[in-house]
Each structure stands twice: as C-alpha cells, then as structure tokens.
Structure 1
Amino acid sequence: MKFTEYLFEENKELWEQYLVHPFITEIGEGTLPKEKFLNYLIQDYLYLKEFVRVFAMGVVKAKSIEEMKLFSSAIGGSIEDEAATHIKYMEQLGVSIEDAEKCYLKINNRSYVSYMQSISLTGSLKEIVMATLPCTWSYYFIGEYLLENYRDNLLENYYGDWIKSYSGHEFKDVVEKWIDYTNELCSNLTQDEKVSLNTIFNQASIYEMDFWEMAYEDLLEKEMV
C-alpha cells in the first residue's frame, strides 16, 4: 500500500464529512448565500497568503533542485491560480483586494495557519508535506465530487467556476504531482513514522473541516486591521 493510500484510509471518514457539509452541498446546489461565500473567499484569500509561507520553508529545507522547484511552483500556483478565482468572485461581490487585505484572520483560520507555520519552522520536509497536503488534496476530492454530482446544474450555478477550478485537469495534475512526491518522500517508513506523520495529516484535515464550519456559520468579518 502506498503511503497516501494509507493516509486516505486513515482519514476517509473525516473527509467524507466534507462532502455532506452544508457549505459544500449548497455550493453544489447553487443555493449558498453569497454573503457566506464572500466570508469564505476573504478568509481563504488571507489563508493563501500564509499558506505560501509554509511552502517557502519547503524551498529552504529542500534537498534537491527538483524539490525546490516543486515547492516554488506551489507558491506560484497558490498566489496566481487559486487567488485569481477568489479575486474574480470577490470583485463581483463588491470587495477589492485592498479591502480583503484589511480584514482580520478569524480565530479558526489563524489557528490553522499557525499550526502549519510552526510545523514548517520546526519540522522536516515530510512533516511540511503532511501539514499542507490535506488542503490541496481535499479540495480536489471535493471538487471532483461536486462535478460528478451536480454536473447538470453547473452552467446555471453561480459557483460553477469555483467547482470547475478545483475539479479541472490542471488542478488534478497538481494534486497528482504532490501525491507522487509524497509517496516517494515517504517510502520505507517505519510504523511509528507512519503514525506520527498521519497525526499531522489528520490534524490539518480537522482544521479543513473547521474552516468550512467557520465559513458557513460566521457572519462576514467587517473589522479591519
């Protein structure tokens, strides 16, 4: 069994909860209130800014040029590709980049990024990958599910572009590249190492669920820094 298969099996029950979360199902149905989506967009935009700092530490700790390129590409992809979808929707909903930059990280979001950044500072490359992989991988897991189950509604769905961005071939290629790298990096682990790395992967997966909860339940953050 490949290591990522082990991770998926260990966290499958939690990941399947993403698919029935009201934020996700209402995205698929196209019924999610736009103020909730805007709240999510702003917080995720702020999250991506901090997320890339974790990959930057991956560049620092990389052992080879190829690893440096991989972590560097993750920085560019997060800032340019993912952020572009967020910016497009935010502007449609009347919030500029400058407005978003002035918003606070909410406590769930701050806790998540602090966890990843602490791992990046003190941990190994393996641990950095465990802290970041659930975000990238689970978004494709969700996007693929939404595309499969709400395909007929996609053209009329306000959130169709969001679904397509996380279920498309380009994003799939990124995810598969990270899965392949993870399996290469984490080959020949002891059982204790597997358990230890899965603990980080699981905690990051829990933070992903907390993020959906935060986005669905909280009101739009009006306070500015």
Structure 2
Amino acid sequence: MSRLFDRLRDGAAADWQAYVGHPFVDGLARGTLPEAAFRHYLVQDYLFLIHFARAYALAVVKADDLAGMRSAAATLDALINHEMGLHVEFCKAWGISAEEMEQAPEAPECMAYTRYVLDRGLAGDVLDLKVALSPCVIGYRDIAVAITERPDFRGEDNRYLPWIEMYAGKDYGAVADEAIAELDRLAAVRATEARMPSLIRTFAESCRLEAAFWEMGWRAGKPAAPGFWSRLFGR
C-alpha cells in the first residue's frame, strides 16, 4: 500500500485544498491578516489543544500494543506539559493571558471539530482516530512550509513569521513525519482497500472542519455586520 497520507489527501483533494488554501492562510503568508482574526484564532486554538490532548489520551486506550500506548502517552505528556506552555508564552506576546484563554467561551467551530475527532476515536479504532487527527498534525507543517515557498510570502516585517517558522521548522517537521509513519504502521495492520472510502471520508470531514476553524478566525477580523435595528434606523 502506498503511503496512506498521500492516498487520503488525494482522495479528499478538494477539501484539502479548501483547508490549506483558505484566505486565513493567505493573510498569514502576506502579513495582511487582521490582528483580531489571529488573536481570536489563538484563543480558540488553546481550547482546541485541551481536547487534542484528550484525543491522545483516547489513543492510549485504543492502541494495539504497548509501543502504541507509550507513543500516545508521550504525545499526551508533551501536549499537556510542554506544548500548551509554549502556546501560553506565545500568546503573552499578543497580550493574551492563560486566564483569558481558559475563561473564553468555546466557539462552535472549535466544538464541532474537537468533538468530531473524539467521536471518530470512540466509534472506530485507533486508525480512525489518527486519520481524523492527521489534517491538523501533518497539515500545519505542510501549510507553513508551503507559505515559505510562495512568491508572495512576506518574511520581513511579518508579525506572523514566528508562527510560520515554528510549524515550518525541523522540530515540528519531525512531529509531522512521525505522524505520517504512524499512519503507515497502523495501515499495515488495519487498512484494507474496502476500508479506504471510509477513511477518506473521515479525512475529508476533518479538512472541512479545519477550514471552518480558519473561517472562524477570518470572520473575527472583519467589521461586525450591523444588527437589525441598526440597519433599519441607520444607527
């Protein structure tokens, strides 16, 4: 079987492209994304990471063997005790405190995405769960690397460059490569040709939910539409 991630991405090409080519990504590349959009995204991404950690806790339960349990447990530990701390430090530079993020209401787009991933893991097996997670884990690396290769990429004086460099860097690249390898290891045991349409549907839905997550942030950067009474009375 060819590399599973390639088959998933090719099978859900339109949804993948809508995710990686969203205007939010264009704004990151060009440095034109409104700050309000990025700030809203950062807060919701923190809440997303909490449920992301729960997904890896579920991966411990769903793992096929002790090696799989150790791998999922190590990722869970890294998320809770390292990555979330880095996210908090990153957000401080944007004037966003951990308390502010923890008290923020969870956006419907965040809720829909994270609960979908957990549902796939609960209803299916560890491969279903890892496929549902893969657009995020692998996609962020692919998006960031693609940004640095764009002719319209603005590296100088781009307030979003630290985010881009983080996900395009070697450390996160190793995380994405390991996620690809893990998909192949699981596929060797659990994937069949008959199962591919279901796995592609899961991958496509996660891509759509990722695009919706970008859209959530993108909308937050736009002026609020006037309410009914403002439109009626011009106020």
Query: TM-score scaled to structure 2, two decimals?
Result: 0.86
Following the alignment from structure 1 to structure 2, what is the Cα–Cα distance between the partners of residues 150 and 107? Answer: 34
Aligned to 1:95: 96
What does residue 182 of structure 1 align with? Answer: 183
Root-mean-square deviation (Å): 2.1
> Do the aligned residues in 1 keep the contact of 2:4 with 2:183 (CA within 8 Å)?
yes
Give the greater-gyration-radius structure (CA). 2
8 A contact 2:113–2:206 mirrored in 1: yes
Amino acid at match of 1:13: A
Q: Distance in 2 between matches of 1:4 and 1:104?
A: 33
| Deviation readout 1:121-169 (Å, 9 max, x if unpaired) | 2321111111111111111110111122269732421111100111111
Pick from 204, 207, 210 the counterpart of residue 209 of structure 2: 207
Structure 2 partner of 1:171: 172
1:44 aligns with 2:24: no
Secondary structure of 1:153's partner? coil
SS at match of 1:118: helix
1:59·1:67 contact (CA, 8 Å) conserved in 2? yes
**Residue 200 (structure 2) aligns with:** 198
Q: For the residues of structure 2 that align with 1:152 and 1:200, how far apart are their CA atoms?
A: 31
Aligned to 2:225: none
Query: 1:85 and 1:34, CA in 2 relative to 1: closer, same or farther beyond 3 A?
Result: farther
* Alpha-carbon displacement from aligned partner over 1:50-72 (angstroms, at most 9, x marks no partner): 11101101111212222112212
Q: Distance in 2 between matches of 1:219 and 1:156?
A: 20
CA offset at residue 207 of structure 1?
0.5
Shift of 1:110: 0.6
* 1:128 maps to amino acid: L
Match of 1:104 in 2: 105
143 and 150 in structure 1: CA distance in 2 versus 1, 3 angstrom threshold? farther
Q: How many angstroms does 1:198 deviate by?
A: 1.4
**Equivalences for residues 1-225 of structure 1 within 5 A:** 1-80=2-81, 82-149=83-150, 153-187=154-188, 189-218=191-220
**Residue type matched to 2:211 in 1?**
M
Find the counterpart in structure 2 of residue 223 from structure 1. none
% of aligned pairs identical?
A: 28
Amino acid at match of 1:141: D
Distance 2:61 2:126 in 1: 10
Structure 2 unaligned segments of length 5 or more: list them: 223-235
* Contact 1:28–1:150, Cα closer than 8 Å, also in 2: no
Distance in 1 separating the partners of 2:151 and 2:93: 23
Report how far residue 187 of structure 1 moved.
2.3
Q: Please tell me whether the aligned partners of residues 23 and 212 of structure 1 are also in contact (alpha carbons under 8 angstroms).
A: yes
Query: CA contact under 8 A between 2:12 and 2:201: conserved in structure 1?
Result: no
> Contact 2:47/2:106 (CA < 8 Å) preserved in 1?
yes
Shift of 1:104: 0.9
> Distance between the aligned counterparts of 1:24 and 1:37, measured in 2?
11
- Which SS does the other structure have where 1:46 is aligned? helix
* 8 A Cα contact 1:19 1:145, kept in partner: no
Instruction: Describe the SS at the equivalent of 1:183.
Output: helix
Query: Structure 1-normalised TM-score?
Result: 0.89
> How many aligned residue pairs are there?
220
